[in-house]
Amino acid sequence: MTTRIRSRTLGRTGLTVSELGFGAWGIGGGLWGNPDDAVAKSALKNALQLGVTFFDTALAYGDGHSERLIAETVRDEGLRRTVTIATKIPPKNREWPARHDAPIREVFPKDWIITCTEKSLRNLDCDFLDLQQLHVWSPAWLAETEWIDTLRDLQLAGKIRYLGVSLNDHEPDDALDLVRSGWVDALQVIFNLFDQSPATRLFPLAQEHHVGIIARCPFDEGGLTGILRGDTVFPRGDWRREYFKGERLGDTVRRAEALKFLVGDGIESLAHAALQFVLSHRVLSEPSVSTVIPGMRRREHVEANCRYSLGPPLSADDMERAKSHAWARNFYD
Ligand SMILES: NC(=O)c1ccc[n+]([C@@H]2O[C@H](COP(=O)([O-])OP(=O)(O)OC[C@H]3O[C@@H](n4cnc5c(N)ncnc54)[C@H](OP(=O)(O)O)[C@@H]3O)[C@@H](O)[C@H]2O)c1
């Protein structure tokens, strides 16, 4: 592939980021099973060479392993200055998603925010974090200010450039008041052919307030890749044994099959359609998302997704038809 990935602006940060980003949860290992670092580094290297400039990681991904792999590969390729790396502060109480009634002093107290930021700075081997995100969110925390004051102090100290929040699964409207508050520069949210809910209220409001949108889980953890079957068995240690347990896998495969009308006219596969659904989405003719971050542990997936991102977009007619395939459910519970 010779054409480079296209770029978009990450909201009011003004940062130019590749519209296809790299979701780096899986390469950290942990819930995804034993990581294969050589395979992961080859995937990262390939992404960098193809023009991916946005990487989403977290301190929690393999206890910093994902952050360290990104830092090593970016350094080896001599590209630290040209990429944007977003990371996240894990909840101190280790609860994903956040309980709405969890007091923020148990989840993101001041000393925890500082300690985690320092750890990520060491793992990423840099002087400042491009984007520091809270890894969970409860709207009740808008009534508190210690967390935002602490993050702003870290910004003033030059350790963080921009602030973001990664929202709880399938709860985009939890962020509406947060957007209005003006406290964050970017939000990370699930957006895919099944969960289209951010398009109703969050995307128009984020656009109005110039808040960047990082769209995660474009493939519904594999459900929208078109490669799962009713009898797929996930490897031992892969958390998706739980996510797709019981009737869920069969239901997902049937729903994914019903979306195959999107394939054709230059759209190679369901995975291609799933990625282009996110990239093609518009609010008032402007892209709704700044970057989409599929999880990728393998070079083949990096190559395919880079190719898919280059187009063509889904037609307006297909985008309209896709609306009726939205599926409200929460398999993360
Ligand atoms: N709470 C949070 O903040 C939160 C939660 C979830 C995710 N995230 C972020 O969002 C990113 C994406 O989410 P995710 O990784 O959970 O889910 P996802 O992107 O919906 O799906 C990832 C799965 O799709 C597979 N895949 C990728 N490209 C493919 C292709 N072209 N064809 C077939 N299969 C393909 C991956 O395989 P391989 O891994 O084998 O390449 C992996 O199994 C994460 O990596 C992380 O950065 C954040």
Q: Using one digit for the tens of pLDDT, what is the confidence trace for 7-57?
A: 999 999 999 999 999 999 999 999 999 899 999 999 999 999 999 999 999
CA dist 166 and 61 (Å) reads 14
Query: Under 8 Å CB-to-CB from 216, ≥6 apart: which residues?
Result: 23, 56, 166, 188, 189, 190, 191, 292, 293
Region 241-259 average pLDDT = 97
pLDDT for residue 205: 98
- C-alpha span between 291 and 9 (Å, rounded): 9
Across 249-288, b (16+ Cβ under 10 Å) vs e yields: bebbbebbeebeebeeeebebbbbbbbbbbbbbebeeebb
> How far is the C-alpha of 90 from the C-alpha of 193, rounded, in Å?
28
Which pair of structure tokens corresponds to residue 258?
């019903």
> What is residue 4's predicted lDDT score, i.e. its pLDDT?
80
Q: Band the pLDDT of 311: cuts 50, 70, 90.
A: confident
pLDDT given at position 1: 55
Taking residue 33's Cβ as centre, other Cβ atoms within 10 Å add up to 16
- Nearest-CA neighbor of 161 among 1, 315, 17, 306? 17
Strand, coil or helix: 134: strand
Q: State the Cα–Cα distance between residues 216 and 54, nearest whole angstrom.
A: 13
23 torsion bin: left (phi>0), alpha (psi -120 to 50), beta (else): beta
Query: In testing the pocket of ligand 1, which one of 36, 50, 70, 217 has its CB within 8 Å of the most ligand atoms?
Result: 217
Specify the pLDDT at position 81: 84
**pLDDT tens-digit profile of 212-246?**
999 999 999 999 999 999 999 999 999 999 999 99
pLDDT, mean over the chain: 97
pLDDT for 306: 97
Judged by DSSP in three states, 160 sits in: strand
pLDDT tens per residue across span 167-212: 999 999 999 999 999 999 999 999 999 999 999 999 999 999 999 9
pLDDT in tens, 258-267: 999 999 999 9
Domain boundaries, the chain: 7-325
Q: From the alpha carbon of 25, which atom of ligand 1 is closest?
A: 45
Q: What is the pLDDT of residue 309?
A: 97
Best residue among 88, 96, 225 to mutate for probing ligand 1's pocket (most ligand atoms within 8 Å of CB) is 225
pLDDT over threshold 80, residue 2: no
| 7-325: CATH class | alpha beta
Span 129-146, average pLDDT: 98
pLDDT at 3: 66
Pocket test for ligand 1, best of 32, 39, 296, 300 (most atoms within 8 A of CB): 296
Atom of ligand 1 nearest to the CA of 224: 20
Pocket of ligand 1 (CB under 6 A): 23-26, 56, 135, 166, 188, 216-222, 225, 227, 271, 293-298, 301, 304-305
Nearest CA to ligand 1 atom 47: 23
Q: Answer left, alpha or beta for residue 234, where phi above 0 means left and psi between -120 and 50 means alpha.
A: beta
Amino acid 22: pLDDT: 98
CA dihedral 225, 60, 188, 81 (to 10 degrees): -100
Residue among 59, 65, 62, 121 nearest 91 (CA): 59
Distances in Å between the Cα of 199 and the Cα atoms of 17, 24, 56, 97, 207 are 21, 25, 22, 21, 11
Say if strands 7-9 and 16-18 run parallel, antiparallel, or are unpaired. antiparallel
Question: Is the separation of the CB atoms in 31 and 303 below 8 Å?
Answer: no
Mean pLDDT on 139-161: 98
